[in-house]
Amino acid sequence: MWTLLTDGPVPLWRPSPTAVSDVLLFSTRRGGVSPPPYDTLNLGRSTPDRPEAVTANRERLLHSAGLAPDRLATAGQVHGARVVEVDAPGHVPECDALVTRARGLALAVTTADCMALLYLAPGAVAAAHAGWRGVDAGMCEAALRAVCEASGHAPEAVTVHLGPAIRGCCYEVGDEVADRFPIEAVDRSRGRARLDLPTVARLRLAQCGLPAAHVHDVGACTACEPAWYYSHRRDEGRTGRLWAVAARR
């Protein structure tokens, strides 16, 4: 369902237009103007990158998706499970997910290893950021409830899309973290435990009534592919930020 489009000036993960009528996308690190180590499409204002470069990158990305830069809502992420419904542009502090019913309003969350989830329901979209703390706090379920409430539909009418993230192949965690999650999502066969957050997300969402077939995953690992993705862990914090964006047409 998802395809990495590389033929345009800004490479993006986009779903098939025949499957999704609204705007959903996951960015890569290519197609921008930022210098190393933020090269090139750094979208995060929390980095030491030049602010004017981040602004130019954001405008490039939004224009490439047919979205207006002045119709952007962003989340001030704190690794929690708070979801805020918005109907106007702006930065929303201390939340990790946004939901909207407004047309043309782009919702963006920022990642550099954490998992991004995009939710699509008839009449509403949501974008959520979830590292292990957010997943443990219930972000996957909270965003699903929020988009169901905003749209007036049950989970059976929702699809959830998982973006590039550090995955079980690379995400080593201590036992104090691994023990918080189902055994299906933890690999202990190679020494230190490795955690796969997309697996946890699928399990949590299924418990809330979301059909398994309604979860779609790009499958990319941020830590494995330095040419395409930023990774906070791989790059020891000196890196840019990716975006996940959702908007109603």
- All structural domains of the chain with their residue ranges: 2-166+221-247
Direct distance between the N- and C-terminal alpha carbons of the chain, in angstroms, rounded to an integer: 19
Q: What is the pLDDT of residue 13?
A: 98
Q: What is the pTM of this model?
A: 0.97
Q: What is the pLDDT of residue 17?
A: 77
| Cβ-count burial 159-183 (b if 16+ within 10 Å, e if not) | bbbbbbbbbbebbbbeeebbebbee
Q: What is the pLDDT of residue 179?
A: 97
Residue 190: both structure tokens together: 């190679």
Residue 227: both structure tokens together: 């040419």
Whether residue 43 contacts residue 241, with contact meaning beta carbons closer than 8 Å, is answered with: yes
- Which architecture, in CATH terms, is 2-166+221-247? 4-Layer Sandwich (3.60)
pLDDT, one tens digit per residue, over 59-90 is 999 999 999 999 999 999 999 999 999 999 99
The Cα–Cα gap between 145 and 130 comes to 15
Listed residue (104, 245, 72) closest to 161, CA to CA: 245
- Which residues, given as ranges, of the chain have pLDDT below 50? none
Q: What is the pLDDT of residue 190?
A: 86
Query: Chain-wide mean pLDDT for the chain?
Result: 97
Give the 3-state DSSP-derived string for the chain, with helices as H, strands as E and coil as C.
Answer: CEEEECCCCCCEEEECCCCCCCEEEEECCCCCCCCCCCCCCCCCCCCCCCHHHHHHHHHHHHHHCCCCCCCEEEEECCCCCCEEECCCCEEEECCCEEEECCECCEEEEEECCCEEEEEEECCEEEEEEECHHHHHHCHHHHHHHHHHHHHCCCHHHCEEEECCECCCCCCECCHHHHCCCCHHHEECCCCCCEECHHHHHHHHHHHCCCCHHHEEECCCECCCCCCCCCCCCCCCCCCCCEEEEEEEC
Q: Is 91 exposed, middle or buried (0-12, 13-18, 19+ CB in 10 A)?
A: exposed
